[in-house]
Chains A and B, each alone.
Chain A
């Protein structure tokens, strides 16, 4: 829609996601930062709790290593879904959130 901020191009660059936006801005966000800010209800709830110093990594998390996307696909006209190498795939990242995370420059 006219006037609305749009991502024009999205690609993996180094260890992160680079997005070229319709207003001329280019943002780069590390996969680690994206994974740490997964917007799914489960992750939001987990982040709201105090960190558990005794949490044991699952074998899948150990095998996966640093977070990397396995797939990233558009959802409707408004968001992207990332499937991660640790098996997590319930996060839907609205375009506005991707821009916000990109501006955090992490």
Chain B
């Protein structure tokens, strides 16, 4: 048996596995994944969040956590009611993971299959940018319900987000929808100003024949909350952006419940 080959994992205790992806870096995948997970939990679901970005893990800082003593800490780590796993719990932020692809694939596999996630309604997976080892390992090993694609409104982001959509189509992972992040800034007077372009998310949704899941506004408190370790949905639940995330969670929940992503049939040898 080739040790580098994907192991198909059953994950029987987990009802839905949703990847948050893009293709493009810096569009807010980790922020969307963290707040989507938080919003699903706040709507009554049991949720796990797996950080598949081995090179640049963001989940720990977004939840006010860091490197832990692996010998003394059972994984996943629970914070704000969400079960978490990240490379950021195993290495300090000052350490660079200078790894070739097969080791990244192994790490993603082990986070999926060797962590006792228990029973979950949702496992949200925060993917790194690109269409490489982490994405392929997930598509081959995990029983993915679907992928949520994050983009910012401009064409520079769309170019790579399209590649992400194409990749998931190639491996037959359902695209649950497109989320447009950083859509506009609302000033104190209530005027909306688009900072990063207009309409890219809807354009990608139409091109891809995928649902448009909505816009997320720019709110300086999002970054503050990310840096300070409490997702904005939890910290400021009455904010417009928190309401947008709760709506996103409801839409994702409805889409997941009606998803027809079944596994391929077994072969009778």
Binding site for B on A (CB under 8 A): 1-2, 4, 7-12, 17, 69, 71-81, 83, 89-90, 92, 95
Contacts and interface: CB of A to CB of B under 8 A. Distances in A.
19 contacts: A8-B265, A9-B265, A10-B267, A10-B268, A12-B268, A72-B267, A73-B8, A73-B266, A73-B267, A74-B264, A75-B6, A75-B8, A75-B140, A76-B141, A76-B144, A76-B172, A78-B264, A79-B140, A79-B171
Given A7-B265, A8-B265, A9-B265, A76 B5 contact: no
B2 interface: yes
Contacts of A2: 260
Nearest to B169: A1
Looking at chain B's contact residues, the main secondary structure is loop
Interface in B142-198: 142, 144, 170-174
Given A1-B172, A77-B144, A78-B172, A72 B269 contact: yes
Contacts of A8: 265
Contacts of B220: none
A81 B264 contact: no
Contact of A95 (B1, B173, B264): B264
Given A76-B144, A90-B2, A1 B265 contact: no
Interface residues of B, number: 24
Contacts of B6: 75-76, 81
B8 A4 contact: no
B269 A76 contact: no
Given A1-B172, A89-B2, A77 B267 contact: no
Nearest to B141: A76
A69 B269 CA distance: 8
A10 B141 contact: no
A73 B263 CA distance: 11
Contact of B140 (A1, A11, A17, A76): A76
